[in-house]
Structure 1
Amino acid sequence: MSESPSSAAAHLHDLASFVEASPSSYHAVAEAGRRLGAAGFTALDEAEHWVTSPGRYFAIRDGAIAAWILPPTAGPATPFRIVGAHTDSPGFKLKPKPTTGSQGWLQAGVEVYGGPLFNSWLDRELEFAGRLVFDDGTSALVRTGPFLRFPQLAVHLDRGVNSDGLTLNPQSHLNPVIGVGNAADTDVIAHLAGLVGRAGRHVVGYDVVVADTQPSAVFGLDDALFASARLDNLSSVHAGLTALIGLAEDGEDGVDDIPVFVAFDHEEVGSDTRSGASGPFLADILARIKPDATESDRARAFARSWCLSADAGHAVHPNYPERHDPANRPVVGRGPLLKINANQRYATDAFGAAEWARSCRQAEVGYQEFVSNNAVPCGSTIGPLTATRLGIRTFDVGIALLSMHSARELCGVGDPAALAAAIGAFLAPSTPPER
């Protein structure tokens, strides 16, 4: 197996470029599609008939993407090796009638998306990014660059903020400023349309989110730390994409199972959409990869298939160690996580743990186990959703972060490349997997 990029530094640089190109889920799948196309993958339209001959393919559904390699040896009951991730991040989304204002300030109306850390979005230059749909049925991706800011109230006007804590009402306190003037004379949507050469009156729909504009950075003693927007979960999207492309560069002849990479949208709000993990996207793709397979063939294939669910997890916080399990204490820089939960908020079981151990051993990377403190509720991932929908054995992994759901998250510089290497070994095992 060859790794591309081969070094942790090169991988991190490429991850930073991927994040920069991906301020929204729609931009992320467009960038993923661009990279796949450059690697010889053929784009397929879900509305068209698909050719099912051996080769490399991908398909996009809104903010989700799936890519796969169909090897020459694949038959109706050939199992799949699936890597799943998600393209969205918690933050804010532009409301209908978004142009507002108060006290001479121009503002934009936004709605909370998922569970962001509100305070992390304050006092930083942000942008709008997403898609516009026009009355002629066409659409376009748009991004503004630095355009808006959530201004915090000065300490002089909130003397107790540092002792009593910051309280933010999302309706009254999280209306970003975009300029000065009269809201009646301004139209945010017209501005967005103008950026893609269209008139605002032709916009009939939009999905536009708020994104950070600060570049990713390596920093700290010995440059051990990496900070970036949207590491949850573009770190996993990029790792899975990089692993699949690396496998394709090695050639389809060495591939036994059918490797699949899928990145869903809307994980941060429950996944119950046509492009989310609870929707039919992956099942549709798998059925169309092998349209001649019988129900019995498909059941046999799924019984021998694997799904690796990749999503970021928590590193132990040095200032809040009591919030973590006292025995399992992951640290950034010591390898990706195997995520375990007795109540199946993560899908990992003993066989999944063994398969992850094998993958990391083959890739020559270490890994850490993560389990929540019993008194702190556990989050979840696409893993249990995929396992429930398809019946495919699934396990959950990801890199360790501090500041998860912040506008800017932190990881160790070597962990993203280690995750990609382990995913590559999962997609193309050099020894028979444990069943």
Structure 2
Amino acid sequence: MSTPPRFDRGHTDDLMSFLATSPTPYHAVANAAERLEKAGFRQVAETDAWEGGTGGRYVLRGGALIAWFVPEGAEPHTPFRIVGAHTDSPNLRIKPLPDTSAHGWRQVAVEVYGGPLLNSWLDRDLGLAGRLSLRDGASRLVNVDRALLRVPQLAIHLDRAVGTDGLQLDKQRHVQPVWGLGEAHEGDLIRFLEQEYGLAEGEVTGWDLMTHSIEPPAYLGRDRELVAGPRMDNLLSVHAGTAALAAASSSGSLRHIPVLAAFDHEESGSQSDTGADGPLLGSVLERSIFARGGGLEDRARAFAGTVCLSSDTGHAVHPNYAERHDPTHHPRAGGGPILKVNVNNRYATDGSGRAVFAAACEKAGVPFQSFVSNNSMPCGTTIGPITAARHGIRTVDIGVAILSMHSARELCAAEDPSLLTSALVAFLDG
């Protein structure tokens, strides 16, 4: 294999900026769309008739984005090459009636989203971000990126058993953040956001809000060879896929139609109109085919030749818990992207899929590693099996090996994001 690409610190710097400015799925797709527009892509509305000409296009729906580039000479049956990812991360989300108080503390009622490591959210300064729905039908992205809320941990003096029995958290009672003193009044939180963003009182009629750690991403270690930051699962892949699609769109020899599919709600099962188990991707691909004059036969031919790389973070071998990993599969941080395999189809990779990814890595000069779960540990899953089953397209599960998955702050090797992106560019180039 050729020498791996030199570590691109500029790429990792840009990833850190992307993570910092994408506290919610809505912000993540807005940032990805901005990058694609700079590369010449343009937004199309699902309610409009679509043209079949060449060029880059993208669709935004809530916290999801589907983007594609039609090269010169593309026919209705031209297959797609898809990079799939998800925009959501486990966190604490605001309930419909958020204003509450107890014993002189003003609090915000939250619901646990996905499967976060709850202890990582304790005693951490939290901001508030998301989407406001306005009375006139418009929406507004908001991000209060300062210390606004905090989930205070119980002092050890009041829970001596924590030293022997470990920390036990009740999701309903123990993770409600405080944000002030006194008694709560109905509408306090939303009025605060209306004032913060210059909106009239009562203008906000709906909201999708969530908390986030305000601590910015940072290089870590003696040689700054690690990156610590929030929401790497899975904005690391969204960022890599966006960069790869922008790069592929400038290629003059594409034989496939490159696509980025960034879904929402993976952490809660993907069953939504913006999730991988919904109709969004299939609808966009079909409309692209039909806009180029194709029919059902062209759709069947295009899907039969399509390949999707489902890119999501995976587990690097943990130095303090190596026994939790498969003894013969120890993906290492800094060793390049990982290929995820599970014979029970929790991951979609098979032998032919491995060959596709191996070819892309070889073309890019990127090393890759294999990940298999310990037989004694339940295996997680991704959008990969869902995409394969729903659309009948060959799908391969890959990603970057990290530590502290589902923590408020995760850890990876600083060079792995750029290695993943190089492999994705080679894959989209065909």
- 2:414 corresponds in structure 1 to 413
Partner SS, residue 421 of structure 1: helix
- 2:80 corresponds in structure 1 to 80
CA offset at residue 67 of structure 1? 0.9
Report if the CA contact (8 A) 2:327-2:374 is conserved.
yes
Letter in 1 for 2:127: E
- 2:367 corresponds in structure 1 to 366
Can you list the C-alpha shifts for 1:158-194, whole angstroms capped at 9, x where unaligned?
1221221001111111110111122127701111222
CA offset at residue 221 of structure 1? 2.8
CA offset at residue 6 of structure 1? 8.2
CA offset at residue 85 of structure 1? 0.2
Q: Which runs of 4+ in 1 moved over 3 A?
A: none
- 2:71 corresponds in structure 1 to 71
Decide which moves more: 5-14 or 212-221. 5-14
Can you list the C-alpha shifts for 1:58-104, whole angstroms capped at 9, x where unaligned?
11011000111101111111000000000000111100110111111
Provide the rounded CA distance (Å) in 2 between the counterparts of 1:69 and 1:380: 28
Corresponding pairs, count: 423
CA offset at residue 207 of structure 1? 0.7
Provide the rounded CA distance (Å) in 2 between the counterparts of 1:237 and 1:259: 15
Provide the rounded CA distance (Å) in 1 between the counterparts of 2:119 and 2:254: 47
Report if the CA contact (8 A) 1:140-1:196 is conserved.
no
Q: Does 1:173 align with 2:177?
A: no
Q: Does 1:112 align with 2:112?
A: yes
Alignment of 1:269-308 (within 5 A): 269-291=268-290, 292-308=293-309
TM-score normalized by structure 2? 0.96
Question: Structure 1: where are the runs of 5+ without partners?
Answer: 430-435
Report if the CA contact (8 A) 1:8-1:416 is conserved.
no
Q: Does 1:194 align with 2:195?
A: yes
Partner SS, residue 397 of structure 1: strand
Partner SS, residue 419 of structure 1: helix
Decide which moves more: 183-192 or 171-180. 183-192
- 1:221 corresponds in structure 2 to 222
Question: Cα–Cα, structure 1 residues 179 and 364, in superposed 2: closer, same or farther, change >3 Å?
Answer: same
Report if the CA contact (8 A) 2:99-2:186 is conserved.
no
Letter in 2 for 1:402: L
- 2:127 corresponds in structure 1 to 127
Q: CA RMSD in A?
A: 1.3
Provide the rounded CA distance (Å) in 1 between the counterparts of 2:316 and 2:417: 14
- 1:159 corresponds in structure 2 to 160
Can you list the C-alpha shifts for 1:199-253, whole angstroms capped at 9, x where unaligned?
34222111111111111111113222110100000000000001011122x34x3
Report if the CA contact (8 A) 1:106-1:178 is conserved.
yes
Decide which moves more: 203-212 or 419-428. 203-212
Identity %: 52
Q: Does 1:261 align with 2:257?
A: no
Q: Does 1:13 align with 2:7?
A: no
Decide which moves more: 288-297 or 163-172. 288-297
Decide which moves more: 32-41 or 107-116. 32-41
Letter in 2 for 1:106: R
TM-score normalized by structure 1? 0.95
Letter in 2 for 1:340: V
Provide the rounded CA distance (Å) in 2 between the counterparts of 1:367 and 1:168: 38
Letter in 1 for 2:215: Q
